[in-house]
Amino acid sequence: MKTSYRAMQVGRSGVLELVERKMPTPGNGEVLIEVEACGICGADAADIERADPGLQPPRVPGHEVVGRIVALGENTPSIWKIGQRVGVGRLGGYCGECSQCRQGHFQLCQNQDFVGSTCDGGYAEMMLARATGLVSIPDELSSEEAAPLLCAGIATFNALKKCGAQAGDLVVILGIGGLGHMALQYARRMGFKVVAVGRGNNIAEDALKLGAHLYIDTHQEDAASKLQSLGGAQAIVTTIGHADTVSALLKGLAAQGRLVLLGAGKDPLPVSAGHLVVGERSVLGSITGSPFDNEKTLNFSVLAGVRPMIEVMPLEKAREAYQKMKSGDVKFRMVLSMASTDSRH
């Protein structure tokens, strides 16, 4: 095995630098992964822009990681083998001891790292990971395809499972970006009547191709009124964090409808208590999910033919890829490949 590997670390806040690092050794319950692909997520911006300048060594971002196990630490469960292709999402592996874990709520573990934020992530050729955070990757998915599914995929898939709608019900996806383009595909294949809501007509064609039955441009019409004319939405899944936009769309919920929040904005969400009470409507937050949930997402994606639309760049172009994601100039997810030239599919 090599004695060193390349990594893109946050040398100072907002700045990615390519460095050579010493090869790590997995500790108790850990594995060493040779990374093949890592998605670039909108949440990476906080990790990169607000990195601790005093952290040594500096943090490696990235939490949509796919690669192969090359070394096992002590007490690693026997289901994980050398050479096995695995993934790691935002949640870095549960402890198995806290109150949430004891109830089986592994995604809410109080003692797990956030990959790329509180522990090193996948903008690198190698990465250490807790075995409890590992996800098995189906053979039918390429590493580049699988990477965004470990975050954008599971977040939207789980949100739709929690939304309370049944096949044939009207479900709204607010925000057609990295998350929204996955939500549209899953919602259509789950049998919902899918309405996409976005700003401007430039995304309308893509939204319809991805699975929406109808696209509503908020620049052209009042989205909540339009939803009311259709009988109201049984569920609204919002991928954006702009509180006023989300609040305005709440009026489009049907009685006993549910708003599911994926976009985590800083501002308080204005909600009419009367609107919730009179119609028995509800608001629900949804995090990503456990490794088991992630495997269900990947398997459903294979079964239903759901794939992310991605642009691929090599590791050494991580700065350019990150800036492209940050500017919104990508349809719809950026992925770093450890052995790849630029491509789009």
Q: What is the pLDDT of residue 250?
A: 95
The per-residue pLDDT for 345 is 66
CA atoms within 13 A on the CB side of 191: 5
* pLDDT recorded at residue 265: 77
Strand (E) positions, the chain?
Answer: 4-12, 15-22, 30-40, 64-72, 85-88, 126-130, 135-136, 170-174, 193-198, 214-217, 233-238, 253-261, 282-285, 310-314, 333-337, 343-344
Decide: 61 and 46 in contact? Cβ < 8 Å: no
Query: 227 φ, ψ to 5°?
Result: -65, -40
Contact (CB, 8 A) for 152 and 333 = yes
Q: One-letter amino acid identity for 124?
A: A
For every residue of 153-182, which 3-state class applies, written as one string? HHHHHHHHHHCCCCCCCEEEEECCCCCHHH
- CA dihedral sign of residues 119, 122, 124, 125: positive
**Cis status, amide bond into 57, omega within 30 of 0:** yes
Q: Return d(Cα 106, Cα 104) in angstroms, integer.
A: 6
Cis? peptide before 106, omega within 30° of 0: no
pLDDT in the model for residue 12: 86
Which of helix, strand or coil describes residue 330? coil
Q: Which of 8, 27, 121 is nearest to 72 (CA)?
A: 27
Pairing of strands 170-174, 233-238: parallel
**Long-range Cβ pairs for the range 228-234 (8 Å, 24+):** 228/252, 230/170, 230/195, 231/170, 232/170, 232/257, 233/170, 233/171, 233/172, 233/195, 233/257, 234/163, 234/164, 234/165, 234/166, 234/169, 234/170, 234/171, 234/258
Q: How far apart are the first and last CA of the chain?
A: 33
Provide φ and ψ at 339, rounded to 5°: -145, 60
pLDDT value at residue 264: 80
Which structural domains are found in the chain, ordered by start?
4-137+309-344 (3.90.180.10), 153-285 (3.40.50.720)
Check residue 341 and give its pLDDT: 57
For residue 340, the model assigns a pLDDT of 62
Q: φ and ψ at 222, to 5 degrees?
A: -80, 110
Digitized pLDDT (tens) for each residue of the chain, 345 residues in all: 689 999 999 988 889 999 999 999 999 999 999 999 999 999 999 999 988 878 889 999 999 999 999 999 999 999 999 999 999 999 999 999 999 999 999 999 999 999 999 999 999 999 999 999 999 999 999 999 999 999 999 999 999 999 999 999 999 999 999 999 999 999 999 999 999 999 999 999 999 999 999 999 999 999 999 999 999 999 999 999 899 999 999 999 999 999 999 988 788 999 999 999 999 999 999 999 999 999 999 999 999 999 999 999 999 999 999 999 998 888 899 999 998 656 666
Q: What is the pLDDT of residue 310?
A: 97
Separation between Cα atoms, residue 301 and residue 156, nearest integer Å: 12
Cα dihedral sign for 202, 267, 165, 299?
positive
Q: Which residues 6+ apart lie within 8 Å of 33 measured at CB? A: 65, 67, 68, 69, 70, 86, 88, 126, 127, 128, 129
